[in-house]
Amino acid sequence: MTTALLTHEACLRHVTPRGHPERAARLEAIARALDAPAFAGLMRESAPAGDDALLRLAHPQRHIDRLRASLPAEGFHPLDPDTWLSPGSLQAAQHAAGAQRRAAELVMSGAATNAFLAVRPPGHHAEAERPMGFCLFANAVIAARSAIALGAGRVAIVDFDVHHGNGTQALVWDDPDILFISTHQMPLWPGTGAPDERGAHGNVLNIPLPPGSDGSLMRERAETLILPALDAFRPDLMVISAGFDAHAADPLAGLEWVEDDYAWLTGRLCAAARRLCGGRVISTLEGGYDLDALAGSVAAHVATLMEWSR
């Protein structure tokens, strides 16, 4: 078995204004890191473009149509102060969504044990009809519902981005077949993610972490909260919303994780997936804005996925 890596050059063509933290250089840094000899064993695929039917797993057609109508012929169009469109943005987002479906096919069929999706724009802040926080479409939800359409009975989404995945939470709030678990700094934008936000079926678990805390607190919370919740839910596949902005070097937040923390957490999640669902994991890129920290953390994450795919 193996780890699949899905990406597409179109994801570089989502261009943001000068100085914006969510920029094409993020994927370029990841590509350089994953070109190292240690990653020669990856199953590399070009992500297909997702069509409107795929996007409708998370969003109504009118949301898709509004984004399409808002695309500028040149330059930039602001959707909010953080979230921008350029001429290539929708194509990039369609390939990011298509990567979710293709990864679900690979992992559900057994062609790959797990997968990492180096795609952008990210997705976990996108609500059903509201793009926000750099995000246009809810990639992790599309991955989860693609897997369910392919036969997974239940899917767990584990989000370790430093910002709470408000969009993912809102989209799965009423869905008993999807468990959403999030670790995130609090207080921090977008302001959601309190422990009492539990979902309509008790299918949401929020684990806020105080500013300045390091990986030791995360590890304790993983052992006492995340892993027991996964054991109780018994998913058929796990989706990871893999944000790397809890790193100590990241400019947008204040947690103090390091590369070894990402490797440790990835290993614990993969061990749970092997125990519960045949190792089936889809990991999709969310945040991470210091390029060196992002590249090193993704390398640690993907190396661990590869270890658990053997």
How many C-beta atoms surround the C-beta of residue 71 within 10 A? 14
pLDDT in tens, 255-273: 999 999 999 999 999 999 9
* Backbone φ, ψ for residue 306 (5° rounding): -65, -40
Coil, strand or helix at 179: strand
Q: What is the pLDDT of residue 310?
A: 87
Using 50, 70 and 90 to split pLDDT, how confident is the model at 278? very high
* pLDDT above 70 as % of the chain: 100
Q: What is the pLDDT of residue 222?
A: 98
Per the CB < 8 A criterion, the answer to whether 104 and 150 are in contact is yes
Coil, strand or helix at 182: strand
pLDDT in tens, 205-263: 999 999 999 999 999 999 999 999 999 999 999 999 999 999 999 999 999 999 999 99
Measured N-to-C along each axis, helices 25-34 and 291-308 cross at an angle, to the nearest 10 degrees, of: 40
pTM of structure: 0.98
pLDDT in tens, 28-79: 999 999 999 999 999 999 999 999 999 999 999 999 999 999 999 999 999 9
Q: Computed from CA positions of residues 137, 143, 145, 149, in that sequence, does the dihedral angle turn out positive or negative? A: positive
Q: What is the CATH number of the domain that holds 39?
A: 3.40.800.20
pLDDT in tens, 78-123: 999 999 999 999 999 999 999 999 999 999 999 999 999 999 999 9
Pairing mode of beta strands 84-85, 43-46: unpaired
270 vs 226: CA distance, rounded Å:
13
Place of tokens 């408000």: 166
Active site residues: 125
Per the CB < 8 A criterion, the answer to whether 105 and 23 are in contact is no
Q: In angstroms, what is the C-alpha Rg of the chain? A: 17
pLDDT in tens, 157-178: 999 999 999 999 999 999 999 9
Q: What is the pLDDT of residue 174?
A: 98
Task: Give the type of residue at 147.
Answer: A
Q: What is the pLDDT of residue 128?
A: 98
Structural domain including 202 reads: 3-308
Q: What is the pLDDT of residue 1?
A: 76
Q: b/e for 25-64, b at 16 or more Cβ within 10 A?
A: ebbebbbebbeeeebeebbebebbbbeeebbebbbeeebb
Q: What is the pLDDT of residue 54?
A: 98
260 vs 257: CA distance, rounded Å:
8
Q: What is the pLDDT of residue 255?
A: 98
Total domains in the chain come to: 1
Written as six digits, the tokens of 143 are 């991955």
The DSSP secondary structure of 5-63, one letter per residue, reads EEE-GGGGG----TT-SS-THHHHHHHHHHTSGGGTT-EEEEPPPP-HHHHTTTS-HHH
Q: What is the pLDDT of residue 188?
A: 98
Using 50, 70 and 90 to split pLDDT, how confident is the model at 196? very high
Using 50, 70 and 90 to split pLDDT, how confident is the model at 16? very high
| Omega cis (within 30) before 121 | yes
Per the CB < 8 A criterion, the answer to whether 177 and 200 are in contact is no
Written as six digits, the tokens of 190 are 């977008």
